[in-house]
Structure 1
Amino acid sequence: MAANLHGVKYRRVRVACVRRAPAIVLVVVLSILAAGCGGSSNKSSAGGTGTTAASCAKADLNLVEPGTLTIGTSNPAFPPWYGGAEKAPWKVSDPRSGKGYESAVAYAVAKKLGFTHAEVEWKVVPFNLSFAPGPKKFDFDINQISYKPIRAKAVDFSDSYYAVNQALVVVNGTPIASAGSIAALKPYKLAVQLGTTSYDYIVDNIKPSKKPAVFDTNDAAVAALKNKQIDGLVVDFPTALYVSAVQVPNSKVLGRFPTVGTQEHFGLVFEKGNSLGSCVNEALSKLQDDGTLQRFQDEWITKAGGAPVLK
């Protein structure tokens, strides 16, 4: 047994394979991110069921391309998850920069596995395809993908690298902007990106009278909020802060939603049965134990300020 970053006891489980703006604006965004929005604390005990790697030596890893660690994420690549200047083929930010929380985590894992920066290759993988059944063109995908049992039937997940809560973005001056509780949200039209756990949270916990709108991409959902085609957008809290500060003028994060049941967390995604997962979990465990994940969180996500918890 060991303790996570918040002092909660957990049992380490070896799991085989188990989204933009000028730099100045981004600094403003990061400066308001809340200390309580999430963390890298949860260890997943419900990850993949692939074959345990016989060796985590670089030469023995099960890779798409020998000698190269291939990582997937979606495009555009948004802060605070990714940073750096936009550089083709990537839009908004550049995962190859090593800046932003997920980019930093990915390169730290790569280093633990024995890869240099130059030996890491990034591929564009649409969010909803990352956890779809079938062969993968990546070794792992890192893209704010929450662990869900139904997803784990098709892919394997790593242990948690970030614990997360959902949040609601609204436009100031609209009727929903004065709502102070979850119950007060019921009359409104809320929206999410296709395939996200945000939809589940709305349906299971908010239970609005209007069916949530579902958009193929978060950009499409943001555009709908800008045009007031929807009343509010539900996304993870760090993304909500970026949307309100950068993407939607005169908007705000109305609040964060409390955890219901098991803490939601993000995990790296692997092709089902890939033994690489157990080696990545060893790397993540070391990065948590030595404080690296917390340092990345402090640098890229967690700052003073925030939004209230809606109850």
Structure 2
Amino acid sequence: MRTSRPVALAALVPAVALALTACSSDTASDDAGESTSAAACTAEDLPTLTDGTLTVGASDPFEPWYVGEPTSGEGFESALIYAVADELGYAADDVVWESVTFEQIVSPAIKPFDVAAYQTTITEERRSAVDFSSPYLTTHQGVIVADDGDFASASALADLEGARVGVTASQTSLDAAESAWGDAVEVVPFSAAGDGMTALTSGTIDAMVMDVDQGVAASTVYFPDTSIVGTLPDVGEPEQLGLVLDKDSGLTACVSEAVDTLDENGTLDALRDEWLDSDEIPELS
């Protein structure tokens, strides 16, 4: 369903919608696209799917990335998109949202959107299929435990040895867990982070690894009887998130320029301060 901002809803997404789609194991890097003159980076000149409209792809919304529906302008990525749109010369009413799957976002198929904002880690493998904007966030993998579980007091990697640790299959959390513990824990893959969190609260697993900012929301909004005990050491280069566009899109350079401007003028820092709350979480060693 395509929606535009005036029909924003207030309902929050159920916890099961916590699908960790952001991450993968390859080295992160930005994709600025082909050079484009500043004069061409205006709404009337951009080659969007619909003239005068910026169509944005996103999957199931959940905090802290989206508060309510994407059209709300609340939540880190919703606010980011409207800020990018403003830099490009689009009014808020010119932003239209398209509900898509994560596979649609990262696959090489032609996209039903101009740009997607859905916690997508920039990787070399994905860059062979899609374009990325300049990165808008550097993130880490957090470790969540049950408040009444055997590992509630863990403060170091060694404290979790022997635990059953949930991860999202084939994504950054899997590589981060294997790198941190090796064979000292049993890694249990799940198709979605929400499934892992449900297993954690039921006692099926002892800990869950996911993007730390998503984990903050999971442990405070959706699963309040859990807590983040720390983050895992990075595997290779730091994990960075970027907006996704069609491969060789004529929009990539302009979207990257908009993200760069938001970084330089302090808007990205302000959005992080407003919507993300992971700066004080320590790294486990």
The TM-score, its normalising length taken from structure 1, stands at: 0.76
| Separation in structure 1 between the aligned mates of residue 134 and residue 65 of structure 2, nearest angstrom | 18
Q: Tell me, yes or no, if the aligned pair for 1:156 and 1:269 is still in contact at 8 Å.
A: yes
Matching of residue 73 in structure 1 with residue 58 in structure 2: yes
Counterparts in 2 of 1:134 and 1:286: CA distance versus 1, 3 Å: same
| Separation in structure 2 between the aligned mates of residue 50 and residue 308 of structure 1, nearest angstrom | 35
Q: Tell me, yes or no, if the aligned pair for 1:170 and 1:252 is still in contact at 8 Å.
A: yes
| Separation in structure 1 between the aligned mates of residue 273 and residue 34 of structure 2, nearest angstrom | 34
Counterparts in 2 of 1:288 and 1:167: CA distance versus 1, 3 Å: same
- Shift of residue 142 of structure 1? 0.9
Instruction: Write out aligned runs for 1:13-162 (5 A).
Output: 46-48=29-31, 50-53=33-36, 55-75=40-60, 77-83=61-67, 93-162=68-137
Unmatched segments (≥5 aa) in structure 1: 1-20, 24-43, 84-92
**Aligned residues, how many?**
260
Structure 1 residue aligned with 2:284: 310
Percent identity at matched positions?
A: 34
Of 251-260 and 114-123, deviating more is: 251-260
- Shift of residue 113 of structure 1? 0.9
Unmatched segments (≥5 aa) in structure 2: 1-9, 13-26
Q: Tell me, yes or no, if the aligned pair for 2:56 and 2:98 is still in contact at 8 Å.
A: yes
Q: What does the per-residue CA deviation read over 1:127-152, in whole Å, with 9 as the maximum and x for residues that have no partner?
A: 34321222111111111111111111
Name the SS of the counterpart of 1:130 in structure 2: helix
> Structure 1 counterpart of 2:66, which letter?
Y
Instruction: Write out aligned runs for 1:160-309 (5 A).
Output: 160-209=135-184, 212-302=187-277, 306-309=280-283
| Separation in structure 1 between the aligned mates of residue 171 and residue 71 of structure 2, nearest angstrom | 25
- Shift of residue 196 of structure 1? 3.0
- Shift of residue 98 of structure 1? 0.6
Q: Tell me, yes or no, if the aligned pair for 1:45 and 1:159 is still in contact at 8 Å.
A: no
Counterparts in 2 of 1:184 and 1:129: CA distance versus 1, 3 Å: farther
Q: What does the per-residue CA deviation read over 1:20-45, in whole Å, with 9 as the maximum and x for residues that have no partner?
A: x999xxxxxxxxxxxxxxxxxxxx99
- Shift of residue 56 of structure 1? 1.7
